Structure 1
Amino acid sequence: MASESSAQPVLEELDRAECLRLIAPGGVGRVAYDDGEGPTVVPVNYAVDGDSVIFRTSESARLNRSLLTIVPGGQVRAAFEVDRIDSATREGWSVLLRGGAHPLSEDERESVARVDPWPAGDRGAWFSLAATEISGRRLHRP
C-alpha cells in the first residue's frame, strides 16, 4: 500500500472568499487581454483592493494602449491570474479574476491600494480590474 505522502494530489475548487484571501498579500500576477493581435498575457505587480486588483504599467506599454478606452467610465474585458505552485510537492493553487479593467484617474489613485512596481522606470498608467467572476483551484495531498 502506498504511503499517504505518495498519494496523488486532489483538485479542490475554491470559493470567492478563499480566492481573495490567497491573493490578498499582492505581489506578481498576470493580466490577460486582447492586444489587437490576439490574446496576450503579461506579468505585473499588483495589490488587492476589495474585489479588484490594482496594477501599474508604463504609459508607452502595449498593455496601457490596449486597456485604454475612449468611452468615459468604460471598461475593457480582461482577466487576472495569480498562482503559487511547489513543483517539488506538486501542490499549489491558482486564482482567476475576470471582469472589466479601466484606467484610474488621479483622484482614484489616491484612494486605492498602493502598488510598488519592481522594475525601474516610469509606471504612470494605473489600472483597476473589477472582478465580476472569481474562481480558483487548489491542488493538495489528501
Structure 2
Amino acid sequence: MLRSLIKLAAFLVAGILVYNYFFGTAEEKAQSKEIFSDIKDLTKSAVGLLKSERQKFDEGKYDDAVDKIGGLIDNLKGKAEKLEDNRELLDQIADLQSQQRSLETKLGSPGVQSYGNEGQRVVADSAQRREIEDDWKTLVEKTERVMQEMDRRADSGQ
C-alpha cells in the first residue's frame, strides 16, 4: 500500500515536472530544466565514480566499492523518481539494490577475510572470488545502463 502511494507520488511529481517544462511559467520552466540538468550531471559524475570504484574493486577494496555503489544507486533512485514514465527505471534500480545487497552478503560470508586498517576484505577461495567479481561486474554494467538511460531521458526532456 505504502509502496503504491510512493509510486503514485513519484508519478505525479514527474507529471508536474513535464507539464511545467512545456507549459509552465518562465520560472517553472527554469526549475524543470534545472532538475533535468541535475539528472544529467548526476549521470556524468556517476560514470566517473563507477570507473574509479571498479578499479578499487579490482585492487581488492571490496567494502568501500560496494558501499559507494550502494549510495550511487540510492541517488539514482531519487533522481529517477523525478522523471516521467519512470516505472521501468525504478524496477531496474530495485533490481540493482537487490544485487548490491546480495553482494554485501557474499562479502560478509566466512570465506572472506578482513585485513588492513581500512577493513578491506580479501577472498581466499578463487572460485568465490570469481563469483564475487562476476557479480560486481554485472552490477556495475547494469548501473551504467541505468545511468545512460537516465541521461538519455534527461537530454530528451522526459
User: Scaled by the length of structure 1, what TM-score is found?
Assistant: 0.26
Larger radius of gyration: 2
| Higher strand content, 1 or 2 | 1
| Higher helix content, 1 or 2 | 2
